[in-house]
Chains A and B, each alone.
Chain A
Amino acid sequence: MDGGVYFGRLSRVVEALRRFAGKTVEFDPIRRLVNWGRLYSLWPVHVTTSCCSVALGAGMGARFDYERFGVLPFGSLRQNDLIIIEGTLTYKFAKRIRRIYDQMPEPKYVIAIGACALSGGIFRDAYSIVKDVSKVVPVDVFVPGCPPRPEALGRAVMLLQEKIRRSKVSGEPIETPIVVR
């Protein structure tokens, strides 16, 4: 929020404090703590673009249960931080997806699953299909498949967690050596 609107004359002090806090937070124990909180609490918003949502349903169901990773589907988008774009995205729905994305608070992440979301898939000649979801919203992780299996969705969640683990609190990525264990 804009400091000037709410704090009047104190806005410069508030700005300085915010800059100080922003730098303090990047130090390692605090950064790791914040990232730990973020990566184990990814709440996807309930938005179903198409038929790949069966993969999401299977993933949240009893067999795969990605609530183990802290993925809790939640009804309202102001509290959420993950959009899972499931399959075909039409131009008509793309506007809504963009609006949902804009209304969500930072930091926010997007997972695109299914061949249609990645490239248009089998419908790529259709007039109404968005061929490239990353032109609508910035996508973090892509999952191929038609539809992908719930395991692939789990891999996507794990990749996203790894991406958060290797980023600053402000969201910029930091380079750390890859360790294969």
Chain B
Amino acid sequence: MMDVAGLIIRIVKYLIYDLTHMGPVFKAVIFPGLAFVFILAIVLVWLERKMAAKVQMRIGPLYAGGPEGILQPIADFIKFAFKELIIPDQADKLLFIALPIVSLVVAMAPIAFMPYSRYMIISPNPYGLLFAMAFVTLFPLIILLTGWASNSKYAFIGGIRAAYQQIGYELPMWFSALGVALASRSFDFVKIVESQQPLWFALTQPLGALAFFIAMVAEMGRIPFDIPEAEQEIAAGWFVEYTGIMFGIYMVSAMLMKLYVLSLLFTVMYLGGWLPGWGLPEAWTFVKAFIVMFLIMFFRAVFPRTRIKTFVNMAWDKLLPLSIINLLIVFALTFTGFYGGVQP
């Protein structure tokens, strides 16, 4: 018994030390990790609705509680948590129940590799870029599986659309990321940020940044590229059969976590992360990522939806050449020593 008590005391002591000294538990649970992300998610939902309302000269959520109705997302979430769960008779039940949780895991996994500053990484990894991009790429597969598992026409069309759309944006995205990796000669996010010391990659590789940005918005499934959802065409697309808390989880994972993760990825890869590093480096990263998120949420208030054919044509005709040209330029510039470091 004494051993167990001693063990508990040691664990508690470690936890206190960890939380006060920003150890791995603090990182995973509080700051770049769960608590921070969920609070940010609430603020983002509220901000998105409020901003769309302001552009349309409306007020938006107001009476739910808090200043300017900031508790509205919590009210929505509580409503979904206490709503009836409907599982369609023809659905693949195991997949149908498991997929929201898998999607949340896949959407949140890249947060582990994203640096907020040189030391504020949950899991420092020399191949962080590859890991993050791999998880990001996995999400359309979950959409496709969701469409298949719910066994509804609209959901299946949505899943097929997601897969079809991925054919368009996946190559430009990876080629642009390859440009970054080539310029910084590393897949490590910390080295990627450090090698943007004089000039951000958004300035030295504008073509790649543009291609990555457009592909990124498509990957998030946001307006103008929310083709897998497409409310007006295919009801609500791939999540049409999900009710209650399962839809709530999908809303968090697919609409918010992807937005957050990809904006942070864009910030780290192209906007120089925490540079210039004076002051509080985490604040620099956060402010930049928040501006990117704000911009992408602002698209919702302004743009219509593109057709899927238009988007895939644009991706293959414009984005892919753009990213390949960018890669060639970066390749040529590395020989001149423009990006610093050792010559290849």
Contact = CB atoms under 8 A, between A and B. Distances in A.
Interface of A: 1, 6, 25, 33-34, 36-38, 40-41, 61-62, 65, 67-70, 72, 74-79, 81, 103, 105-107, 169
Given A67-B49, A68-B59, A78-B86, 15 more contacts: A1-B87, A34-B78, A38-B79, A41-B64, A68-B60, A68-B62, A68-B69, A70-B76, A72-B49, A76-B231, A76-B236, A78-B241, A79-B80, A79-B242, A81-B79
B231 A75 contact: yes
B84 interface: yes
A65 B58 contact: yes
Given A70-B64, A76-B236, A37 B49 contact: no
A38 B84 CA distance: 13
12 contacts: A34-B82, A37-B78, A40-B63, A41-B64, A62-B58, A65-B53, A67-B58, A67-B59, A76-B231, A78-B243, A105-B85, A169-B82
Contact of A70 (B63, B82, B242, B244): B63
Give the contact-size bracket for chain B: 35 or more
Contacts of A75: 231-232, 235-236
Contacts of B82: 25, 34, 37-38, 169
B4 interface: no
Interface of B: 49, 53, 56-65, 69, 72, 74-87, 93, 231-232, 235-236, 239-244, 247
- Which 9 A-B residue pairs are closest in the complex by CB-CB distance? A37-B78, A76-B236, A75-B231, A105-B84, A68-B62, A40-B64, A106-B84, A65-B58, A41-B79
Nearest to B231: A75
A75 B49 CA distance: 16
Contacts of A77: 235
Contacts of B49: 67, 72
Given A37-B76, A76-B231, A70 B85 contact: no
Contacts of B240: 76, 78
A72 B59 CA distance: 13
Nearest to B76: A41
B83 A81 contact: yes
B77 A67 contact: no
Given A65-B59, A67-B60, A105 B78 contact: no
A41 B75 contact: yes
Contact of B78 (A36, A67, A79, A103): A36
A46 to B, nearest CB: 8
